Amino acid sequence: MIIRQIPGGGSNRLHGFERFLSVSKSGSLYAKPRDPPTFERAMRNELNLRVNYNGNLIDPQTPIATAANRGLRFGDGVFETMYWDGQKIENLDFHFDRLFKGLMILQFDLSDGFTREFLSEEIKKLCESNSASVRARVRLNIFREDGPVLLPVSNKPVFIIESSVYPEENLTPLRLTIYKGEMKSTGVLGNLKTNNYLLNTLAIQFAKDNGFDDAIILNSRGNICEASSSNLFMVQKGVLFTPALSQGCVAGTKRRELLEILPTLGFQVEETIITKDMIFEMEEIFLTNAIRPIRPVICIENTYYSRELTGMLVRLLKGAKE
């Protein structure tokens, strides 16, 4: 079910979910602000014990970046945010597929043993040192060796791996808005997680400043792309839709997992173009990422959504892994 709230219109029955709208002095309807939004609190990253810098476990306060650091100067690199379940990284192959595709596009020199197996062991070394059997949020950042000018002097990779305490589970439905201040390119970098995340930063800041949990980013064609740190799935008449990779969204690992698993559970899933108008006609919407697998959306601005199928998917997927 979808309920559209129209300023000045009559009352609507909300079928079991609360109204989170407040009326401004001008009479317009806005999402009631939280301070800070739950989504932002959940995604904060507290460093835990040690970081892995180029194979060495060091104190997280150890200075490691010089003035010629290319990650700082040019955003020259890629990163992955991963979930350590206490024994292994979930969907590690999916993360590495995206990561090494990015390294290839950016023309990093991956000789001298910079392989999936090498990085896997370095991640495991840090997680076992920091977290042991405790769940953790892991971030792998790779950037090029130092160079003060735009043209790289060396294409050798440098890496930092961090782990932090896994955020407490929070299934509170999210309230979204649409960010229109900038649009995302649908080019070759769109599906990667590069060190330039300015658009995503602006989007989440816009959401926070306006009392929402997250913001939807549009692509350069004006179509739905993604949220600030998540992919989007939508439901209409029992069919699930998600923006195609050609629309510029990040090639999310949880997105890929769902695209593989859901059809085996009897669901029809389509990767397609979703216009800005279409999203308001959907019955349900949820977000996915590696850290927060499925987060239901209760509203986009003044349009409310059901969460029935989303809840069923959460239970089904949890049961499939047990």
Contact, 177 vs 218, CB < 8 A?
no
Provide the token pair at 145.
Answer: 């060796």
Q: 197-223: per-residue pLDDT in tens?
A: 999 999 999 999 999 999 999 999 999
Taking only the tens place, the pLDDT of each residue in 265-316 is 899 999 999 999 999 999 999 999 999 889 999 999 999 999 999 988 888 8
Q: Which helix (H) or strand (E) holds 125?
A: helix 116-130
Res 18: pLDDT:
34
Q: Which residues contact 145 (CB under 8 A, 6 or more apart)?
A: 70, 152, 153, 154, 155, 156, 157, 158
Q: How far, in Å, CA of 130 to CA of 94, rounded?
A: 24
Q: How far apart are CA 53 and CA 47, in angstroms?
A: 14
Q: Where does 43-165 sit in CATH, by number?
A: 3.30.470.10
Strands 214-219 and 268-272: unpaired
At residue 4, the pLDDT reads 38
Query: Alpha-carbon torsion 167, 171, 175, 181, what sign?
Result: positive
pLDDT score for 143: 97
Question: Which stretch of DSSP H or E encloses residue 155?
Answer: none
8 A C-beta contact, residue 313 and residue 14: no
pLDDT attached to residue 187: 95
How far apart are alpha carbons 88 and 124 in whole angstroms?
Answer: 7
List of the chain residues with pLDDT < 70? 1-48, 132, 319-322
Query: Regarding the domain delimited by 171-321, which CATH topology (the fold level of the hierarchy) does it fall under?
Result: D-amino Acid Aminotransferase; Chain A, domain 2 (3.20.10)
- pLDDT at position 49 is 83
Give residue 44's pLDDT: 47
User: Do the beta carbons of residue 276 and residue 222 sit within 8 Å?
Assistant: yes
pLDDT in the model for residue 177: 98
Q: Which DSSP helix (H) or strand (E) runs through 95? A: helix 92-105
Domain ranges (residues) in the chain: 43-165, 171-321
